[in-house]
Structure 1
């Protein structure tokens, strides 16, 4: 993982366009290729990001001392980070993550649903629990009676964070031709 603290601007062009004005931010480049831009006031949520698979190209900017990071994905979306001043830049090998160990209600419900997947619908079959993706494991991957893949995410409470997490999974999974509807 590469961690950079820098004064920068960020421009996104893709399904929409977005601009982050000049400010000091945390830039994270993970081993899976994802890039995220964070501020100090938003808990864990990035201001902007590019999910894998994507490519990061570093080049000289228009002015002396500037560096441009251009991040692109297969859909042609672009994230351009103009780095004006670097305060910190370090890389770290975090190794293989053992994964999240769940306990209590969510883990128990996941186990029960996996054992009795037809509770979710007649003809449903379990593909796998903790289905791995580039942005984290989906609690349950199943197929419905028609053979379509269904991602199931189990949460103790229905809150916006869970909806956003499932949306990120669906965006990623729908780009996979083997899983997309």
Structure 2
């Protein structure tokens, strides 16, 4: 990866035309060929960029560019379209290259699969006396995250989300409608379980007779020691 901090201007042509006036910016050139221009604001999103596959050529400025103070010109051309990004460098403050190696990718903690596995192991979060029937109980419209029975013997269908929103309640509603047609399972009660449940989703779930359950991920992992709490 190459990192260049420079006073520069940029011109993009292709599906549309865009111009970045001269300013101090960070230019990132990645090993995959992508080129990105960043300002010191606007969060993570670049001001302009060229995605791979593309090629970059470095050249001397034209006479007109040199008169305007341009010292170097980068031309980035997309290999599968007419998209072109031309960067005029006026003054370079930093230029370094770093070999990052192969990235293993993002490993998420607390994803729905983890929550589902822990919920199956701690099925009594549904209530004392509950027991697991199975995870990923298949239906004609997809798998129910967890199917269980409570202490009274009633079937319980659990939909698990990291963030509980209206779409999740709608999904569980469809599963319940289908499961309740099976005389071996009916009546089936629904539980919408998530680390966070949006107010609108909670209102909809309550209206449809679905219970809501907040999952404390740290406590389920055994990280949160309740006995050591001050409050």
| Pairwise TM-score range, normalised by the shorter structure | 0.5 to 0.7
TM-score, scaled relative to structure 1: 0.59
Larger radius of gyration: 2
Measured at CA, do residues 65 and 13 of structure 1 come closer, stay the same or move farther in structure 2, by a change above 3 Å?
closer
| Distance (whole Å) between structure 2 residues aligned to residue 39 and residue 60 of structure 1 | 25
Q: CA RMSD in A?
A: 2.9
Q: Distance in 1 between matches of 2:98 and 2:111?
A: 34
Runs of 4 or more, structure 1, over 4 Å off, are 106-109
1:32 maps to which residue?
32
Which of 50, 67, 72 does residue 67 from structure 1 map onto?
A: 72
CA distance in 1, matches of 2:85, 2:112: 35
Change (3 A) 1:105 1:85: same
The TM-score, its normalising length taken from structure 2, stands at 0.47
The aligned counterpart of 1:119 is 142
**Cα offset for 1:42?**
1.2
Is the 2:11–2:19 Cα contact (8 Å) retained in structure 1? Answer: yes
Tell me by how many angstroms 1:65 deviates. Answer: 5.6
For 2:39 and 2:98, how far apart are their aligned partners in 1? 21
Q: Which runs of 5+ in 1 are unaligned?
A: 121-155, 157-181
Higher helix content, 1 or 2? 2
Higher relative contact order, chain-length normalized (CA < 8 Å, sep 6+) = 1
Measured against aligned partners, the alpha-carbon deviations of 1:48-97 in whole angstroms (never above 9, x if no partner) come to 00000000100011216611100011201000000010000000000111
